[in-house]
Amino acid sequence: MTLTPDRLATMANAIRALSMDAVQAANSGHPGMPMGMADVATVLFAKFLKYDPAAPKWADRDRFVLSAGHGSMLIYSLLHLTGYESPTMDDIRNFRQLGSVCAGHPENFLIPGVECTGGPLGQGLAMAVGMAMAERQLNATFGGDLVDHNTWVIAGDGCLMEGINHEAIGLAGTLKLGKLKVLWDDNKITIDGDTSLSTSEDIPARYRASGWDVFDCDGHDFADIERTLAAAAASDKPTLVACRTVIGKGAPNKQGGHDVHGAPLGAAEIEAAREYLGWTSAPFEVPAEIMADWRSLGAAGAKTRAEWEARLAAAPDAAEFNRRMAGELPEVEPIRKALAEWVEGDATVATRKASENWLNVLAPAIPEMIGGSADLTGSNNTKAKCQAPFTAEDYSGRYVYYGIREFGMAAAMNGMALHGGVIPYGGTFLIFSDYCRNAIRMSALQETRAIYVLTHDSIGLGEDGPTHQPVEHVMSMRLIPNLNVFRPADVIETAECWNLALEAAGTPSVLALTRQNLPQLRKSGDMLSARGAYVLRHAEADRKVILIATGSEVELACKVRDTLEGQGIGADVVSMPCMELYEAQDEAYKHEILPHDPSILRVSIEAGTTMGWERYTAASRNGGLNIGLDRFGASAPAKDLFARFGFTAESIVPKILDKLSA
């Protein structure tokens, strides 16, 4: 099909009309970006993007990422016009209303054609890096007949100004991700005004400095756009295309100004725009011939997909490919067997080391696991023996040296998980979860199986001091919805928590692990961590106390219990490696572990903030007791810090006796 610039222009105007009308109807939203990038997006979808609206989850489709997610009407328009089942015109009509899949920012969990959730600036592009990494890894594994697609991104000035952009493009440049193509909406406008108000950067020079190809085009000249995207597509480097555009193009009195960025145009300007564009249709109506042009584009992908389906059907490793893309774990009998053997053992190791040891069981059995660390491989213990580095020279590797790029790593992990076919995990110090916190949140929101290996999880890391000692981090991540925060107490719980993280296909996980050694506390039981909390030691004397602890403090709780029992005071020790899973249990189980008996004193012990623990302790005898750390740590050897801050049986037992006698 040959689409002349005139026909492309009317097609692009359909995007403009839908965008301005939807924002107007919602009385909220961002018309500037969809109107400004309509021409570029039309050329991309007409001539370059590989997609089939009938199969939004086709494994070898090109990924299209709207990193400038506030311009959501652009992608809603494109998906509807090209013939995706969702969104419907009714959805678009209800843009930004309760129940519409056309949310303010595009949400991957609402519309299958939306590859990732956009909005938090910079992350879409950084997730696209992860998608392009997954593509190369699967290409190296399954070959170009099954996996050979581009990742296209539309990004705005905000995406490029955010710090994560530096991390993302540095990673992409080093890994020579030539199938990553970023179209930059170069409109020289930010919310506060002209970009010159806050930046003087030579963006192309910066991208070139990171090993990227850079092209530029007039974003409203169809021939120039096509020529430039062709050059970008042909490049073997990651590529930035600076698309010089006019924000809000088509709104004759407002285009080019920053007022058009994030507010409805208003009825008068919309009328003027209709005239300017020659668009005579009513709101939410697209003339039949324009719709036909769009739909014929959309239909064109079916042939390519059919050819691919045929190749897949003939491929000897089709079953394995399909398994990985479906996100189904392989047979894990060897893993179960290994865990049973571990339970018989008696290993005193740091949980970070236990994690490494378990990775050496998991990684050979689960080939889709792709590990990595933000330059702390030897500290996070994230590399399994069987994993070779993932590099520009060998994309079949399964271990990524992410560099000192926590946020870029986390976003890339999200992109990999969203791409599918791989299960990413990555490590840094727990404290530096702060650096990638919003990407962890985005894992949760997007329901990705990203696994964060966060070591050095308390003052137990010792000498590096308060900048490196998490205090509030474990609890603060428990506040994020749809995130499982695991803090295992020993080698056995570490292995169990890893298994639970891998099995949670729609929920990301954090594994908070110690630097310091811990004894093996569990010598029996099968996957007890799956209940979130369980009784590790039962009271022998008459039960007066329940000690609830996590991670390294479970050992301490056991010592406290032994002292109490020695004085005739019965005490359970409840190990609670995952609050979220405990909360998901039925009431009967929850009451079995923490009975509604106000005569029993409940005591929490965790080397972090106490706030939040009152959920489990405050309604118990004398208001319960929370042993924790509500201040910053200090620099000293771990044992000195635990003593200084009261994490010893000698310090805790008298507090319990006081409470019992109050």
Return the residue of 292, 326, 340, 618 that touches a second copy, per CB under 8 A. Answer: 618
Decide if residue 180 touches a second copy (CB under 8 A).
no
Q: What residue has token string 């073997």?
A: 236
565 near a second copy, rule: CB under 8 A: no
Q: Which residue has the tokens 């405990």?
A: 582
Taking the least distance from each CB to a second copy, the nearer of 47 and 208 is: 208
Residue 376 makes contact with a second copy by CB under 8 A:
yes
**619 is a contact residue toward a second copy (CB under 8 A):** yes
Does 615 bind a second copy (CB under 8 A)? Our answer is yes
Query: 27 to 46, contacts with a second copy by CB under 8 A?
Result: 28-29
71 forms part of the interface with a second copy (CB under 8 A):
no
What is the C-alpha separation between 380 and 374, in angstroms, rounded? 9
Cβ pair 149, 58 in contact under 8 A:
no
- CB burial readout 101-118, b (16+ within 10 A) else e: bbbbbbbbeebbbbbbbb
Report the alpha-carbon distance of residue 360 to residue 564 in Å, rounded.
39
How many Å apart are CA 26 and CA 91, to the nearest integer?
A: 12
Q: Which residue's CB is nearer to a second copy, number 189 or number 277?
A: 189
Smallest gap from residue 572 Cβ to a second copy (A) = 20
Nearer to a second copy, 362 or 430 (CB): 430
Selected from 609, 642, 653, 659, the binder of a second copy by CB under 8 A is 609
Strand order in the sheet with 63-66: 63-66, 151-155, 180-186, 239-244, 213-218
Closest distance between a second copy and the C-beta of residue 185, in Å? 13
97 binds a second copy (CB under 8 A): yes
CB atoms within 10 A of CB 566: 10
- Which residue blocks in 143-282 are alpha helix, DSSP H? 157-161, 163-174, 203-209, 222-234, 267-277
Site residues for a second copy, 121-140, by CB under 8 A, read: 121
**Residues in 477-496 at the binding interface with a second copy, rule: CB under 8 A:** 478-482
The reply to whether 173 sits near a second copy by the rule CB under 8 A is yes
Residue of 170, 264, 371, 424 interacting with a second copy (CB under 8 A): 170
| Minimum distance of a second copy from residue 635's CB (angstroms) | 4
506 lies in the binding site for a second copy (CB under 8 A): no
Q: Which stretch binds a second copy (CB under 8 A): 139-147, 170-178, 351-359, 535-543?
A: 170-178
Least separation in angstroms between CB 468 and a second copy? 6
Spot the catalytic one: 135, 406, 553, 580.
Answer: 406
Closer to a second copy at the Cβ: 309 or 614? 614
d(CA 92, CA 571): 59
Specify whether 555 is catalytic: no
Could you say which residues in the range 621-640 bind a second copy, by CB under 8 A?
623, 630-632, 634-637, 640
Find the part of the chain contacting a second copy (CB under 8 A) among 234-242, 509-517, 529-537, 616-624. 616-624
Of the candidate spans 26-34, 240-248, 494-502, 529-537, the one that interacts with a second copy by CB under 8 A turns out to be 26-34
Q: Rounded to an integer, what distance in angstroms lies between the CA atom of residue 266 and that of residue 223? A: 32
* Minimum CB–partner distance for residue 159 and a second copy (Å): 8
Q: How many residues bind a second copy (CB under 8 A)?
A: 108
Task: Answer yes or no whether residue 452 interacts with a second copy by CB under 8 A.
Answer: no
Cβ closer to a second copy: 122 or 219?
122
Q: Give the H or E element holding residue 543.
A: strand 543-549
Question: Which has the closest alpha carbon to 175: 133, 138, 236?
Answer: 133
For residue 529, the minimal CB distance to a second copy (Å) is 21
List the structure tokens of 556. Answer: 């301490």
- Does position 179 bind a second copy by CB under 8 A? no
Among 119, 264, 415, 426, binds a second copy (CB under 8 A): 119
Amino acid at 554: V
Residues 187-206 that bind a second copy (CB under 8 A): 190-193, 197-203, 205-206
Rounded Cα distance, 286 and 277, in Å: 14
User: Which among 247, 243, 242, 275 is positioned nearest to 259, based on CA atoms?
Assistant: 247
Q: Is 641 in the site for a second copy (CB under 8 A)?
A: yes
What letters, b where the CB count within 10 A reaches 16 and e where it falls short, cover 512-528?
bbbbbebebbbeeeeeb
Contact 96, 103 (CB under 8 A): yes
For a second copy, which is the closer residue by CB, 310 or 611? 611
Least Å distance, CB 158 to a second copy, is 4
103 part of the interface to a second copy, by CB under 8 A: yes
Closest approach of a second copy to the CB of residue 78, in Å: 19
Q: Which helix (H) or strand (E) holds 184?
A: strand 180-186
Span from 82-90, 102-110, 240-248, 491-499 in contact with a second copy (CB under 8 A)? 102-110
Burial class of residue 314 (count of CB atoms within 10 Å of its CB; 0-12, 13-18, 19+): exposed
Site for a second copy in 522-561 (CB under 8 A): none
Rounded to whole angstroms, the Cα distance separating 23 from 30 reads: 7
Site for a second copy in 211-240 (CB under 8 A): 211
Query: Hey, what amino acid is at 14?
Result: A
Radius of gyration of the chain (CA): 28
Least separation in angstroms between residue 247's CB and a second copy is 14
Q: Kindly provide the residue ranges of all beta strands, DSSP E only, lying in 263-364, ordered along the sequence.
A: 349-350
207: Cβ contacts below 8 Å, ≥ 6 apart: 169, 214, 240
Indicate whether 209 belongs to the interface with a second copy (CB under 8 A).
Answer: yes
Subset of residues 458 to 477 that bind a second copy, contact rule: CB under 8 A? 462-468, 471-472, 475-476
What residues numbered 322-351 form the site for a second copy, per CB under 8 A?
none
User: Which of 61, 63, 80, 105 contacts a second copy by CB under 8 A?
Assistant: 105
Q: How far is the CB of 65 from a second copy (least distance, A)?
A: 14
Alpha carbons 453 and 369: distance in angstroms, whole number: 13
User: x/- site string to a second copy, residues 399 to 438, per CB under 8 A?
Assistant: --xxxxxxxx----------------------xx-xx-xx
Q: Could you write out the DSSP letters of every residue in 408-428?
A: HHHHHHHHHHHH-S-EEEEEE
> Mind giving me the DSSP string for 124-174?
HHHHHHHHHHHHHHHHHHH-TTT----EEEEE-HHHHHSHHHHHHHHHHHH
Specify the stretch interacting with a second copy by CB under 8 A; choose among 160-168, 236-244, 324-332, 517-525. 160-168
CA distance 383 to 601: 43
Shortest Cβ 69–a second copy spacing (Å):
7
- If one asks whether residue 157 binds a second copy (CB under 8 A), the answer comes out as yes
Smaller CB separation from a second copy, 53 or 608? 608
Dist CA 65 CA 296 (whole Å): 22
Q: How far is the CB of 507 from a second copy (least distance, A)?
A: 13
- Rank residues 228 and 609 by Cβ distance to a second copy and give the closer one: 609
**Which residues are CB-neighbours of 482 under 8 A, at least 6 positions away?**
444, 445, 447, 506, 507, 508
Active centre residues (catalytic): 406
